[in-house]
Structure 1
Amino acid sequence: MEFHFLPIFAFLSLALVAIHAALTPEAYWKSVLPNTPMPKAIMDLLHPGKRKAGVGTNIDIDISNIVRYYEAASDNEDQFHDTTNVVAYFLENDMKPGMTMNLHFTKSKNAATFLPRQVVESIPFSSNKMQQILDHFSVKTYSTEADIMKQIIELCEKPGIEGEEKYCATSLESIIDFSTSKLGNYNNVQAIATMVEKETAQVEKYYSIAGAKMVGEDAVVCHKQNYEYAVFYCHKTRATKEYMVSLVGTGDGTKAKAVAICHTDTSQWDPKNLAFQWLKVKPGNTLPICHFLNEDDIVWIAN
């Protein structure tokens, strides 16, 4: 009897794709990443109806989430900074027990949740089809919401800077696929995010309980954007280290486990970058510059 393995293999591959396409985002996570705990930041985006969706109006703060992670070549990135969104830069060797810092961990004002991949793939996501997108969501053409959505799409279409691999993920499934593809394989990846015991409306002083624990030297970081459904700007950049830092507020004792990103090579950054002004250092690769990530930033690291 003659066996034709290639057609059988092709059939099984198509069947597997069909099964994955039929899964909910949460089920897809469990099927692909059974040994990877899901961060609360993602869990909160899986249940439509519990949070009010829709585009907000604070586009500057939402875009600054990206700028904080990788501030580099653009001459006009400083325009995205806002004094209400505190950026606390520090040097890697500052992460010691007892380190104190004024911090304000925030979440995006946009509460849109994930849609299944098969749904979002049926909706255009291109600046060439902007009117069709606005019509789909019943957004007025010349409204603030329309401007915000257009800026997000254009940001996603803009080429990455040197050394950056970027991708705008429009579903949880696509976040998983992009992040794991950049970090090796499904069995060698974990997702982490900053966790704060309770939200505060203002800057708080925190101190480090036991210094920092390095958890990775290779990462994909995804930042939630201000869109009609959950969209994340994901990018992998070179020369970073990732840390988990246990913090306690000096006022009411609020606890936090914060993710810190340290950039070990800043030679390509804009010399006028806010980080250099803040720390009084120059671009280079001798003094790693670090900052914390907000609660809805997802960091993917290789185990």
Structure 2
Amino acid sequence: KIIFAEASIDSNLNNFKVDDNIVSVDETTFFFQRDLRTGKLVNLPNLIATGDKTPFLPDRVAKSIPFSSAKLPEILNHFSLKPQTRDANTIGETIRGCERAAINGEQKFCATSLESFIDLSISKLGKQIQLLSIEFSKETKNPLFTISRGMQNMGEHELVCHKMEYPGAVFLCHALNKTGVYKVPLVGRDGTKANALAVCHKDTSGWNPKHMAF
């Protein structure tokens, strides 16, 4: 399975209060597995945010442009960007993220074209691949949802792919040992139904102790 999105669920079991019909729910990116329970109120602004629709560059074009921090000046010149600008810094951060060494138990790659995305995914998962992403019954601007019945355990053989900021689409995909994926049905405060994806990392011993999850 290839996962294109992750749900962010608040880990505080007493995270909401009702005051004059105003519901205040803290947002957080990380959560405990025990929080994936029916009736849990969650605040997911990232879930409803407008996604980055930047398309992949054609494979021929992507291969003609360097993708290395050592070639950053050449990359910036190709996209007519000046050094030290916000866009230039973002490109540098994306490339460095792709060049980061894999941690213990992790497999990772960055795809800069649709062809490379398909080829690299097949090399990791084989040809029997299921694509999973967030699903909505309708558009909504309200980030408050309640977890409903019917959560599904999608298994532990997956790639989780994050879209990175870059002039052409770049996906950083990685697989970590002892990682489970759940499809989580949600119902919004306005009646919107959604299926989110929650990723549970069951072994974080190889992570940087300064990671924001801690």
CA 267–141 in structure 1, closer or farther in 2 if over 3 Å, else same: closer
CA 248–108 in structure 1, closer or farther in 2 if over 3 Å, else same: closer
Does residue 99 (structure 1) correspond to residue 44 (structure 2)? The answer is no
2:88 and 2:209 map into 1 onto residues whose CA distance is 34
Structure index of larger Rg: 1
Q: What does 1:177-256 align with in structure 2 at a 5 Å threshold?
A: 177-183=119-125, 185-186=126-127, 188-201=128-141, 204-249=143-188, 251-256=189-194
CA 106–226 in structure 1, closer or farther in 2 if over 3 Å, else same: farther
Structure 2 counterpart of 1:163, one-letter code? G
2:82 and 2:50 map into 1 onto residues whose CA distance is 23
Are the aligned partners of 1:140 and 1:146 in contact in 2 as well (CA < 8 Å)? yes
Percent identity for Structure 1 against Structure 2: 43
2:59 and 2:179 map into 1 onto residues whose CA distance is 30
What's the CA shift for 1:96? 2.9
Structure ranking higher in strand proportion? 2
Structure ranking higher in helix proportion? 1
Which digits, 9 at most, give the CA deviation of each residue in 1:12-71, with x for residues without a partner? Answer: xxxxxxxxxxxxxxxxxxxxxxxx9x99x7xxxxxxxxxxxxxxxxxxxxxxx99x8xxx
What's the CA shift for 1:153? 1.0
CA 275–142 in structure 1, closer or farther in 2 if over 3 Å, else same: closer
Q: TM-score, normalised by structure 2?
A: 0.79
Segments of structure 2 that go 5 or more residues without pairing to the other structure are 9-25
Q: TM-score, normalised by structure 1?
A: 0.57
Segments of structure 1 that go 5 or more residues without pairing to the other structure are 1-35, 42-64, 69-84, 277-303
CA 88–131 in structure 1, closer or farther in 2 if over 3 Å, else same: closer
What's the CA shift for 1:95? 2.5
Where 2:194 maps in the other structure, the secondary structure is strand
Where 2:31 maps in the other structure, the secondary structure is strand
